[in-house]
Amino acid sequence: MNDDIRVPEVRCNVDGAESLGIVSIDEAMEKANELGLDLVLIAPDAKPPVAKIMDYGKYKYQEEKKQKEQRKNQVKIDVKEIKLSVKIAENDIAYKVKHAREFLEQGKHVKFRVFLKGREMANPEAAKDVLLRIWPMVEDIAVMEKPPKFEGRYYNMYVIPQK
């Protein structure tokens, strides 16, 4: 921007007006100062580099406004995590699944995690079996985005609500 531009000549455009064509950096700076605006390098890799004479403060403000608007329109995904163990009782599974169904009905994503402690690490398939026992209880209202997968000391399954 302005005096930080270190190229001999640039293809210069004026914001909202005509193109000046290829001019020396001194001429471009002179024209920018004359208009009371900034000289900003837009495409430094082009041959010759492209510079634009514009109000840089106004440009930054408009860019921030655009980004704020995009963030406002963004959909935030809420992920609820339900932790289980390998030795979980049937009624406890039913209780946890009931909560998972409530989350799915609210449109939230659910991540089921089975933690393997100590000697349970020797038989990680038991954790996968727990997740596969849970799946039929929620498959009518959910889609399995990620099937049961072993990660570290956890077996994870990720489900999302059906459309």
pLDDT in tens, 109-139: 999 999 898 888 888 888 888 888 898 988 8
- Over range 5-23, report the average pLDDT: 77
- Over range 19-31, report the average pLDDT: 80
Measured distance CA(129)–CA(119) in Å, rounded: 17
User: Same domain, yes or no, for 65 and 91?
Assistant: no
CATH of the domain at 58: 3.10.20.80
Domain holding 118, by residue range, is 79-161
Residue 24 · residue 11 · CB < 8 Å: no
Q: Is the pTM of this model over 0.85?
A: no
Average model confidence (pLDDT) across the chain:
85
User: Same domain, yes or no, for 119 and 56?
Assistant: no
At 30, the pLDDT band (50, 70, 90 cuts) reads confident
- Over range 30-48, report the average pLDDT: 80
Number of domains in the chain: 2
Strands, DSSP E only, in the chain? 9-14, 19-24, 38-43, 50-54, 79-85, 109-115, 142-151, 154-161
User: Same domain, yes or no, for 64 and 100?
Assistant: no
Which residue type occupies 131? L
> Looking at 69, 102, 128, which one is the last position of a domain?
69
CATH of the domain at 147: 3.30.110.10
Q: Which of 96, 83, 23, 98 is nearest to 53 (CA)?
A: 23
Angle 107-109-115 from CA coordinates, rounded to 5°: 150
Q: Are strands 19-24 and 9-14 parallel, antiparallel or unpaired?
A: antiparallel
- Over range 140-157, report the average pLDDT: 88
What are the phi and psi torsion angles at 41 (to 5°)?
-80, 115
pLDDT at 3: 65
